[in-house]
């Protein structure tokens, strides 16, 4: 697993298109959203923790779409190159190889995301004289952003097994808007629930509060009050969903081999 993870990480992180797409989307985001002022949702931009949560909110709105779409072609790469049979013949376990591939690809695809986030934190630390922003950026990334990326990465592994990667990318972007960004009063949506990958429950439950049920919206049973417990529940749900997606990928591989 470790060898596979290292190989997949290096293969993915060295792709020029990975960095180019992230930078293009980030440039559009920075030009159209208040990323530099860090003044989002009435938070205090002078507080480094609040500023990093605001920056995370803005980046989470768009960069996960890049993340999922860039992963979509990696699960089927071995088959497309015709080396899957050779890999299946080596002594390494197939489950370990799958986990290594998943962890390596997801970590590499999240690297530009993390670099952008840390870059903003560094800029904030210099401009505002708040070195604590660097520490808070790591805390926010690991607790608010990373669990959702773990699920989205597993989803991007499983989806292309059912539909072609290009179609999956279209469906993934549609899912991202419907299940994570659409206002809850517009239509039935998973947005603002513990099934949403945006990390709202972690951000509000552990750091800010002021988030909870929307009685006027459908599926409100999935919107508990934001507390440290519901934040931990959200992390558990993301990990469980990621594990379920990987089990489906493994079962599909077993069925294909039989």
Where are the chain's structural domains? Answer: 2-257
Q: Write the DSSP assignment of 173-207 as a string of letters.
A: HHHHIIIIIS-TTTSS--TTSTT-TT-HHHHIIII
Q: What is the pLDDT of residues 182-204, one digit of tens each?
A: 988 888 999 999 999 999 999 99
Is residue 83 within 8 A of residue 7, CB to CB? The reply is no
Rounded CA separation 172/169 (Å) = 5
DSSP conformation class of 216: T
| Straight-line distance from the first to the last Cα atom of the chain, in angstroms, rounded to the nearest whole number | 23
pLDDT at 93: 74
pLDDT at 88: 56
Rounded CA separation 62/109 (Å) = 14
Residues 6+ apart with CB under 8 A from 110: 67, 146, 149, 153
Q: Which of 180, 193, 205, 208 is nearest to 42 (CA)?
A: 208
pLDDT at 186: 86
pLDDT < 70 positions in the chain: 33-45, 76-92, 257-258
pLDDT at 116: 93
pLDDT at 216: 78
Dihedral angle, C-alpha 191, 246, 102, 106, nearest 10 °: 0
Q: What is the pLDDT of residues 61-100, one digit of tens each?
A: 999 999 999 999 887 666 655 555 545 555 567 788 889 9
pLDDT at 117: 93
pTM: 0.89
Q: Is 42 helix (H, G, I), strand (E, B) or coil?
A: coil
Residue written as tokens 């799958």? 98
Angle at 66 between CA 175 and CA 33, to 5 degrees: 90
Rounded CA separation 53/143 (Å) = 11
Q: Which of 84, 102, 107, 99 is nearest to 1 (CA)?
A: 99
HEC-encoded secondary structure of 45-108: CCCHHHHHHHHHHHHHHHHHHHHHHHHCCCCCHHHHHCCHHHHHHCCCCHHHHHHHHHHHHHHH
Rounded CA separation 213/23 (Å) = 36
pLDDT at 257: 65
The per-residue b/e assignment along 102-112, b for 16 or more CB within 10 angstroms, e otherwise, is: bbbbbbbbbbb
């Amino acid at each position: 697993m470790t060898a596979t993870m290292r190989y997949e990480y290096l293969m993915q992180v060295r792709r020029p298109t990975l960095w180019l797409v992230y930078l293009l989307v980030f440039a559009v985001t920075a030009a159209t959203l208040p990323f530099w002022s860090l003044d989002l949702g009435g938070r205090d931009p002078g507080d480094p923790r609040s500023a990093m949560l605001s920056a995370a909110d803005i980046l989470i709105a768009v960069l996960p779409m890049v993340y999922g779409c860039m992963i979509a072609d990696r699960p089927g790469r071995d088959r497309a190159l015709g080396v899957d049979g050779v890999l299946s013949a080596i002594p390494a376990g197939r489950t370990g190889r799958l986990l290594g591939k998943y962890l390596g690809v997801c970590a590499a695809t999240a690297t530009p995301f993390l670099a952008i986030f840390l870059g903003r934190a560094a800029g904030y630390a210099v401009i505002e004289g708040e070195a604590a922003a660097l520490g808070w950026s790591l805390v926010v990334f690991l607790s608010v952003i990373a669990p959702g990326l773990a699920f989205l990465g597993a989803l991007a592994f499983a989806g292309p097994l059912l539909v072609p990667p290009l179609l999956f990318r279209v469906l993934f972007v549609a899912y991202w808007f419907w299940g994570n960004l659409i206002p809850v009063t517009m239509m039935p949506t998973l947005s603002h629930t513990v099934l949403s990958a945006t990390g709202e429950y972690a951000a509000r439950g552990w750091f800010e509060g002021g988030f909870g049920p929307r009685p006027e919206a459908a599926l409100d049973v999935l919107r508990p009050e934001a507390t440290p417990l519901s934040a931990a529940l959200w992390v558990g749900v993301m990990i469980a969903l990621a594990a379920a997606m990987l089990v489906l990928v493994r079962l599909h591989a077993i069925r294909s081999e039989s």
